[in-house]
């Protein structure tokens, strides 16, 4: 065999930052290029995939490229653990094991690598999940930006919990476990030196115990999703589309911290599209909504849980609408996605 | 066993390219910094780790940063599949599922991304393993070099096969499934434009079927290792150390293709420290050596399998020696590791 290096057809057909931002461009890249090549699922993309032959086990992987490496409330090490633990949790699983692959730029101070590794290790211990496999690669100066981390997790699904992005149903209550916008605005504010970082901190934290609190409700928990890249807007749109339902959210019911609102005003961002790393949306049978809300609020990380909307009995399938503060109704679209690179 | 080296605390101590090259510097970085932080195993580092609570399942992860992306015999996509499939195979496992995380530089031509994804998908199909989970991140121009891929694999161990880097025993025969040095010299020659790439191609290929051919020998297969970064020298030293045995290799018995020898001469490299991606070393009970050799040779990828040495009944534990072509005996040391960056 000889090396085949393809020539691009058009100069302008290149990867854009927005392709990685979790919005419409990301979906397009996955749907038209990556998934066909890899024989991806015909069905919806879940936060974690079932392991063939082992229906109780799920697998999830995530690359972390956040910049800066350290920010109020966390760093790339703790984020890499929480992100993957949470993706497993969204399938109703407790984390069984993690693998960690580091790509490090030559010249990174060992003290920073040590700090990141220590934070990653502590986050894993705190979440009760062992790091069982790892890899470290080093590339030359300028070939990477300091450090990238890819974590992969294997999780074991809790008895009775079988949530899926495709299982939301008309009538479901939509619950949100905590305030939105903290992670994205914190990272952006730290990176750009905007000064908000004294008022806010990332919500980065593990959510598997919060999911465990929902376990007694079993099959009444239809869908769980953590609104990371693309924020609450992307998560809700993914659920509406995968479940083919119409979702309606009460804007006033969505908790947005004052500092997040202020930062978003300054940055021209909608808090609903800003990444979170420590909250989840749950679509639950309306009959179990109060009990689910109580269960969420029983945990510190769910203390501010709120019921923010519902799945409409009728309505345009795949669409998310927002009832605004003034009572109007507008479509809450899938974000295009170019606004917040390297947020996780 | 743990490498003893002083913990650095100076401001100017930074990550070096050699920290990622699979030799002594890599071992040092792992032993002194990464593994303590992550509560790594007290025992030896295996190619794949057992999944807690599921002793038939193993997990392995690897980051791929090879440059150039395309080279004779493969590309970063196929390599990412083969590398992880092979790490699983070295624990006696067939691959059950892969996850793939891409980190892509803004501006990468979509045609190149498409070619890499297509090659990755084809390699996975050819190996019979589904890609069940994935992630794509994009970073700005200059923040990564084109594309990095991290693959994680879950494997199911074949009945009776329980090889471990720590299970080599005095008297074992040392088998090598194919010629050494092809992958590393091919990548280096392509990258540096040395012109050898018309004569040689990477040996990148999956080895799980070759391991399946050994399965009937069960517990007589003590250790399997694919000599990737750091080459045959690193693999043998890792085995000698983890198993606390003395290994002796016959230099004349190690197949080194002529083009590899020529390229290594030019580059000032020892073929025994050059990375491979399509061969394995097997430490097997001497009584089963002939049968194992026959089994290896029954497969195309093992057609050139050879018996290259033995574990000495006595001798310095943890040491690898080489009987040279002229009959002298020299220590085959763990490579320091700075010579071949970004070879995989």
Determine contact: A132 vs chain B, CB below 8 A.
yes
In this structure, the answer to whether residues B187 and B274 fall within a common structural domain is: yes
Cβ within 8 Å of A, B 69-98:
69-75, 96-97
Do residue B99 and residue A152 have CB atoms under 8 angstroms apart?
A: yes
In this structure, the answer to whether residues A209 and A131 fall within a common structural domain is: no
| pLDDT mean over A44-72 | 94
Do residue B39 and residue A106 have CB atoms under 8 angstroms apart?
A: no
Residue A179 has pLDDT above 70, yes or no: yes
Structure tokens at A120: 């990653």
Q: For A229, name the nearest residue in chain B, comparing CA atoms only.
A: B137
Do residue A61 and residue B100 have CB atoms under 8 angstroms apart?
A: yes
Q: How far apart are CA A164 and CA A173, in angstroms?
A: 15
| pLDDT mean over A300-326 | 96
pLDDT category at A72 given cuts 50, 70, 90 is very high
Which residues does B335 contact at the CB level (< 8 Å), separation at least 6?
Answer: B21, B22, B23, B24, B230, B231, B233, B234, B270, B273
pLDDT category at B3 given cuts 50, 70, 90 is very low
Which residues in chain B touch residue A121, judged by CB atoms under 8 angstroms apart? 37-39
Q: Nearest by CB to B33, from A62, A113, A137: name it.
A: A113
Q: Nearest by CB to A110, from B14, B139, B197: name it.
A: B14
Determine contact: A154 vs chain B, CB below 8 A.
yes
Residue A1 CB neighbours (<10 A): 12
Give me the pLDDT at residue A197, please: 67
Cα-based distances in Å from B42 to A23, B31, B35, B39, B46: 43, 10, 9, 9, 12
Q: Nearest by CB to B110, from A14, A21, A145: name it.
A: A14
Residue A209 has pLDDT above 60, yes or no: yes
Do residue B38 and residue A131 have CB atoms under 8 angstroms apart?
A: yes
Cβ within 8 Å of A, B 272-301:
none
Distance (Å) from the alpha carbon of A7 to chain B's nearest alpha carbon:
7
Within-domain flag for B114: yes
pLDDT category at B197 given cuts 50, 70, 90 is low
Within-domain flag for A223: yes
Structure tokens at B90: 């070295």
In this structure, the answer to whether residues A113 and A257 fall within a common structural domain is: no
Distance (Å) from the alpha carbon of A314 to chain B's nearest alpha carbon:
33
Give me the pLDDT at residue A12, please: 65
A124, A157, A190 — which closes off a domain?
A: A157
Do residue A140 and residue B17 have CB atoms under 8 angstroms apart?
A: yes
Residues linked to residue B71 through DSSP beta bridges, in sequence order? B74
In this structure, the answer to whether residues A183 and A324 fall within a common structural domain is: yes
Within-domain flag for B17: no
Residues linked to residue A105 through DSSP beta bridges, in sequence order? A139
Distance (Å) from the alpha carbon of B208 to chain A's nearest alpha carbon:
18
Residue B256 CB neighbours (<10 A): 18
Q: Residue A140 maps to which CATH number?
A: 3.30.1330.10
pLDDT for A280-309, tens place per residue? Answer: 999 999 999 999 999 999 999 999 999 999
Do residue B39 and residue A148 have CB atoms under 8 angstroms apart?
A: no
Residue A84 has pLDDT above 60, yes or no: yes
Do residue B34 and residue A134 have CB atoms under 8 angstroms apart?
A: yes
Q: Residue B295 maps to which CATH number?
A: 3.90.650.10
**Lowest model confidence (mean pLDDT) among A115-124, B81-90, B257-266:** B257-266
In this structure, the answer to whether residues A88 and A191 fall within a common structural domain is: no
pLDDT category at A181 given cuts 50, 70, 90 is very high
> Which conformational region is residue A18 in: left (phi greater than 0), alpha (psi within -120 to 50 degrees), or beta?
alpha
What is the number of domains present in chain A? 2
In this structure, the answer to whether residues A245 and A326 fall within a common structural domain is: yes
Residue A192 has pLDDT above 90, yes or no: no
Q: Nearest by CB to B104, from A15, A48, A138: name it.
A: A15
Cα-based distances in Å from B139 to A64, A113, A182, A204, A222: 10, 20, 22, 21, 34
Within-domain flag for B339: no
Whether the Cβ atoms of residue B259 and residue B138 lie closer than 8 Å to each other = no
Give the range of the structural domain holding residue A87, as residue numbers without chain letter: 48-157
pLDDT for A224-276, tens place per residue? Answer: 999 999 999 999 999 999 999 999 999 999 999 999 999 999 888 999 999 99
Q: For B119, name the nearest residue in chain A, comparing CA atoms only.
A: A37
Structure tokens at B6: 């002083």
Within-domain flag for A266: yes
In this structure, the answer to whether residues A139 and A181 fall within a common structural domain is: no
Which residues in chain B touch residue A49, judged by CB atoms under 8 angstroms apart? 97, 99, 132-133
Determine contact: A65 vs chain B, CB below 8 A.
yes
Cβ within 8 Å of B, A 2-41:
2-9, 13-21, 26, 29-30, 33-34, 37-40
pLDDT category at A22 given cuts 50, 70, 90 is confident
Residue A1 has pLDDT above 50, yes or no: no
A334: which DSSP letter? Answer: P
Helices and strands per DSSP (H, E), number in chain B: 9, 14
Whether the Cβ atoms of residue B236 and residue B301 lie closer than 8 Å to each other = no
Structure tokens at B20: 């990622």
Cα-based distances in Å from A3 to A6, A116, A310, B32, B71: 10, 37, 54, 39, 5
In this structure, the answer to whether residues B182 and B303 fall within a common structural domain is: yes
Give me the pLDDT at residue B340, please: 76
Within-domain flag for B31: no
In this structure, the answer to whether residues A139 and A195 fall within a common structural domain is: no
Handedness of CA A300, A301, A305, A311 (dihedral sign): negative
Number of CB pairs < 8 Å for A and B? 313
Instruction: Label residues A146-170 b or e (16+ Cβ within 10 Å = b).
Output: bbbbbbbbbbbbbeebebbbbbbee
Do residue B110 and residue A13 have CB atoms under 8 angstroms apart?
A: yes
In this structure, the answer to whether residues B149 and B180 fall within a common structural domain is: no
**Lowest model confidence (mean pLDDT) among A193-197, B178-182, B257-261:** A193-197
Which residues in chain B touch residue A57, judged by CB atoms under 8 angstroms apart? 54
**Per this entry, what is the length of chain B?**
344
Give me the pLDDT at residue B337, please: 67
The ipTM of this complex is 0.94
B102, B130, B157 — which closes off a domain?
A: B157
State the number of CA atoms in the 13 A half-sphere of B131 facing the CB.
Answer: 34
- Compute the mean pLDDT over every residue in chain B, rounded to the nearest whole number: 92
**Minimal CA–CA distance to B17: which of B85, B81, B67?**
B67
Within-domain flag for B121: yes
Q: How far apart are CA B83 and CA A181, in angstroms?
A: 39
The proportion of chain B whose per-residue pLDDT surpasses 70, expressed as a percent, equals 95
Within-domain flag for A275: yes
Residue B82 has pLDDT above 90, yes or no: yes
In this structure, the answer to whether residues A326 and A186 fall within a common structural domain is: yes
Residue B339 has pLDDT above 70, yes or no: no
In this structure, the answer to whether residues B142 and B258 fall within a common structural domain is: no
Determine contact: A141 vs chain B, CB below 8 A.
no
Residue A314 CB neighbours (<10 A): 7
Which residues in chain A touch residue B201, judged by CB atoms under 8 angstroms apart? 1-2
Distance (Å) from the alpha carbon of A41 to chain B's nearest alpha carbon:
8
Residue A42 has pLDDT above 90, yes or no: no
């Amino acid at each position: 065999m000889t090396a085949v290096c393809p020539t691009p057809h058009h100069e302008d057909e290149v990867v854009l930052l927005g392709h990685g931002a979790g919005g419409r461009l990301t979906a397009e890249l996955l749907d038209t290029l990556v998934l066909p090549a890899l024989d991806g699922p015909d069905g919806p993309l879940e936060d974690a995939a079932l392991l063939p032959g082992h229906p109780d086990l799920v697998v999830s992987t995530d690359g972390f490229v956040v910049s800066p490496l350290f920010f109020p409330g966390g760093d790339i090490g703790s984020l890499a653990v929480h992100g993957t633990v949470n993706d497993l949790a969204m399938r109703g699983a407790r984390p069984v094991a993690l693998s960690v692959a580091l790509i490090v730029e030559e010249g990174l101070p060992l003290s920073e690598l040590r700090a990141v590794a220590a934070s990653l290790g502590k986050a894993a211990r705190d979440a009760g999940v062992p790091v069982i496999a790892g890899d470290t690669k080093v590339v030359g100066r300028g070939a990477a930006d300091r450090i990238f981390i890819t974590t992969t997790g294997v999780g074991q699904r809790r008895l009775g919990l079988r949530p899926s992005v495709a299982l939301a149903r008309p009538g479901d209550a939509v619950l949100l476990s905590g305030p939105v916008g903290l992670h994205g605005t914190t990272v952006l504010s730290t990176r750009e030196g905007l000064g908000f970082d004294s008022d806010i901190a990332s919500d980065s934290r593990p959510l598997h115990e919060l999911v465990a609190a929902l376990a007694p409700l079993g099959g009444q928990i239809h869908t769980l999703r953590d609104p990371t890249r693309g924020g609450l807007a992307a998560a809700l749109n993914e659920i509406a589309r995968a479940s083919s339902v119409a979702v309606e959210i009460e804007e006033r019911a969505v908790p947005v911290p004052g500092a997040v609102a202020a930062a978003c005003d300054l940055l021209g961002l909608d808090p609903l599209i800003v990444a979170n790393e420590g909250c989840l949306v749950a679509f639950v049978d309306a009959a179990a909504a109060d009990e689910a809300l109580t269960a969420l609020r029983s945990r510190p990380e769910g203390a501010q849980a709120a019921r923010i909307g519902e799945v409409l009995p009728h309505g345009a399938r795949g669409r998310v609408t927002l009832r605004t503060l003034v009572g109007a109704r507008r479509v809450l679209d899938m974000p295009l996605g170019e606004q917040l690179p390297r947020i996780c």
